[in-house]
Structure 1
Amino acid sequence: MHQADGRILMKEPRRALVTDRERAGHTQESLATALGVDVKTVRNWENGTYKPRTPDLHRRLAEELRITRRQLTLRFDHTAHNEIDPPDQLAEHQARPPRLASVLEEALDSEEADRLSYSLHWPESVDHSTLDILQRCLTYIRHAEDDTSSSAVIPVVGEVQRIANSFANASRASIRRHATGLLSEVEQYRGWLAIPSRDWHTAQRHLDRATVVALESDDPLRLSTALSFSAYSALRRFDLSSADALSEAALRDKRVHAGLRAYELFQRAEILARSALRKASVALLLSADGLVEHLPDDTDLPSSGYWYTPPFFLGQKAFVLRALGDYSGARQAAVDCLAEMPPDWSESEWAARRRELAGAG
């Protein structure tokens, strides 16, 4: 115990945190190993002495405990004393749109941040390692979107887009394919972020450029992704003719990850169902289900496709079933999807259509 403002205060054990850990199947030792900290640190969290020192550690702890970051913040609200930062400051940090400076600080170590910062002033110095560092920044922002919204990350993605563009323009022949491939990924992500607000013009402008740049870099994964995102945009606009052509084009190149292939099969199955081509839609739905059963482990997923997981694809299946007229099956698939996805995903902006479908009568 300790004294503050003349009062005797006891450290209050965070019993809910212990319960979360046990429900997640972790011992103190296994949780410490998963997070790369010592067991004493985990004990200090649970006995009310400290909380995670950084937002990144806070995020990873929430993932291991299978709760949302908001729920984890509440676990620490009862012991505001002897902490590194008050919980409300951490909550404010999570709600605040990320800035490039904070992304560099939280996604990279100091040497990587220095290297990237130097390349911002001297794009001609960019090499493969520098591009990989910028890729990690983009991955960090994608996860930040899960916790905030598409509009919250658009400004920082715009900054990353300008950096990627300057790197591609200044790149030497030996790294040009790598640089243009990354630029394509940034452009397609920026186009994707415009869809929730129904800013169709901006979405298509960035997705069109993503497609062109992916063709230049001969990058099948990024080209196929850009085309499938364009098909999704067309589907949301009820432009079935364009959606059909774009989804067919997205499926042409077979040199893509199985997770992306599954996404595109579900997408095309929905398009065909909406076009009253029921038999073809059902056949593709079965093929997509088969692919999902054999998806690689999470560790083998591309950074741009960390969401290629069976729970996510249950949501895609729900949309196909709804288009086929199986409303009961669609609702159940959406319910199962939300139940099996990580809490941060199920409560995210992009899962809103899944939540709406799960709640349909």
Structure 2
Amino acid sequence: MNARRTLLIRRRKAVGHSQESLAAALQVAVSTVARWERGESDPRPWQRPKLEVELRLSTAELDELVPGASPSERGMRARSDGGLIDGQPKHGDVVTVAQLRRRVYDLDGRYDHMPSLSLLTDAAQALGQIDVLAEHSRSSSRRELQRIEATAATLLGQLVWDASQRRDHQTARRYFEQAERAAREVNDPVAEGHALLRNSYLALYGEHDPVKGLRLTEHTAAVATGASDVITGLAQLHSAEAHAMVGETRLCEVALAAAETSFGHVADTDAAARLFSPVQFDRLAGSCYLFLGDHHRAERFLGTAATATRAPTKSRAIVLGNLSLTYLHKRDLDAAVVTLHEAIDVVEANRGGGGLNLVSDAVRKLRSWQSEPVVRDIYDRVLSLMTATP
């Protein structure tokens, strides 16, 4: 067997696909996937974009595993009916839909690492193109477009809310509800659950309404149970935080235990696997104990989360913000200042609204130490952060 095809088999297994599941995702026969892997045939040009998505590869990486299209074939693809009219796609052929899906997934993957304002225009344009395509597509393409719409609308809601420093609840909720409708149309409980989960964040962290947030997280878990252990576990984690916000320690810990169980069942084949990180449990458990006033446990969980990854993500900024608040509650100024500097470093890189809000909360708690030189340094950095053009 050609060595490149051996690598193709390894990649398929690494992302959790069997031949049968990959064939189903690509809407081809199992024998077609088998022929690709034996080196007897190649994916057609219009199948490659979707294959890239399923194998989580770039175009160049897929070309390393399976020979790509020739330059003339690429030119034919670029001039095909999947082209654009006045910057908009003509109709929903397979190549155009696959390329649009890849574009939305790429934007979604960049959310946690980049300023939301830098992604807003592209995300809005993608959602607009989905609407145009849906008007001119066959029913099979339209269903696929609705799946992409659910992802794009959820992403756009996240971006709007984050870019507004978690203030524009109304616009974000409108996009999340659009995503929920699109997901229900195609009976996709994972996409619906993700949109519902994001909607719960508006209630919990924007409107500071844990009762409403708990209703949404419990509904999310009910929708996702049996479809995605990732979404179910995340919903249970945020249910735990809702209980913590109102001081319900026992119910909080019951929900944390349920989340830990769900995460223990997560498989690579979970449709929401891209949303899962082993750090999430420690991050949310630490936040729960911070709300409950158990600062020793909060420090333990948040410290573990903070050391687990050094990537300057929006999630890390939230961990560091909560950890600095924990140190301040414990009257450990030195540790709080060091952690706040780290948090500010991350927020400067990605402008995450959640991290910025927590940094602001920590700064307000520094007032009793405001004469200290190290605190004045923090004030200067936060002032620069607030006045900088995002």
- The equivalent of 1:135 in structure 2 is 101
1:232 is displaced (CA, Å) by 0.8
Provide the C-alpha distance between the structure 1 equivalents of 2:118 and 2:80, rounded to a whole number of angstroms: 23
Verify the 8 A CA contact 1:108 1:133 in the aligned structure 2. Answer: no
For 1:1-361, list aligned pairs within 5 A. Answer: 108=59, 111=74, 114=78, 118-121=82-85, 123=89, 125-196=91-162, 197-198=165-166, 199-236=168-205, 237-253=207-223, 254-297=225-268, 300-302=269-271, 305-341=273-309, 343-344=310-311, 347-360=312-325, 361=327
**CA shift in 2, pair 1:128/1:249, >3 Å:** farther
How far apart are 1:118 and its partner, in Å? Answer: 2.7
Structure 1 unmatched ranges of 5 or more = 1-32, 34-105
Distance 1:201 1:291, change over 3 A: same
Q: CA deviation at 1:187?
A: 0.4
Partner of 2:222, secondary structure, is: coil
Q: After superposition, what is the alpha-carbon deviation per residue over 1:47-99, rounded to whole angstroms, capped at 9, x for unaligned?
A: xxxxxxxxxxxxxxxxxxxxxxxxxxxxxxxxxxxxxxxxxxxxxxxxxxxxx
CA distance in 2 between partners of 1:176 and 1:135 (Å): 13
Superposition deviation, residue 208 in structure 1: 1.7
How far is 1:255 from its partner?
Answer: 3.9
- Deviation of 1:188 (Å): 0.8
**Residues in 1 aligned to 2:121 and 2:240: alpha-carbon distance in whole angstroms:** 34
**Structure 2, unaligned runs of 5 or more:** 1-6, 8-56, 61-70, 328-390
Report the secondary structure of 1:148's partner residue.
coil
Q: 1:137-169: CA deviations, max 9, x gaps? A: 122223333332222211111111111222233
Q: TM-score, normalized by length of structure 1?
A: 0.62
Deviation at 1:116, TM superposition (A): 9.1
TM-score (norm 2): 0.58
**Secondary structure at 2:172's aligned position in 1?**
helix
Does the 8 A contact of 1:269 with 1:280 survive in 2?
yes
Amino acid at match of 1:238: H
For the 8 Å contact 2:283–2:302, the answer to whether it is kept is yes
Q: CA 1:143 to 1:259, structure 2 compared with 1: closer, same or farther past 3 Å?
A: same
Shift of 1:305: 4.5
Cα distance, 1:123 vs structure 2: 4.8
Q: CA deviation at 1:352?
A: 1.9
Asked if the contact 1:231/1:247 (under 8 Å) is kept, the reply is: yes
SS at the partner of 2:148? helix
- State the Cα distance separating 1:124 from its structure 2 match: 6.0
- TM-superposed CA distance for 1:266, in Å, is 0.1
Identical counterparts, % of pairs: 20
- Alignment correspondent of 1:12: none
Q: Distance in 1 between matches of 2:92 and 2:243?
A: 44
Q: Distance in 2 between matches of 1:156 and 1:116?
A: 23
Distance 1:131 1:170 in 2: 12
Amino acid at match of 2:316: A
Q: Quick check: 1:234–1:240 contact (8 Å CA) kept in 2? A: yes
Superposition RMSD in Å = 3.0
CA distance in 1, matches of 2:314, 2:287: 17
How far off is 1:268 after superposition? Answer: 0.9
- Rounded to whole Å, the distance in 2 between the matches of 1:168 and 1:350 is 34
Counterpart amino acid of 1:114?
A
Cα 1:243–1:151 change in 2 (3 A) is same
Assess if the C-alpha contact under 8 Å between 1:268 and 1:281 holds in 2: yes
Q: Is the 8 A contact 1:318 1:333 kept in 2?
A: yes
Deviation at 1:226, TM superposition (A): 0.8
SS in 1 for 2:275: coil
Partner of 1:46: none
Q: For residue 348 of structure 1, what is the amino acid of its counterpart? A: T
The answer to whether the Cα contact below 8 Å between 1:107 and 1:137 also exists between their aligned partners in 2 is no
Compared CA separation, residues 247 and 146, structure 1 to 2 (3 A)? closer
Residues of 1 paired with 2:59 and 2:281: CA distance? 31
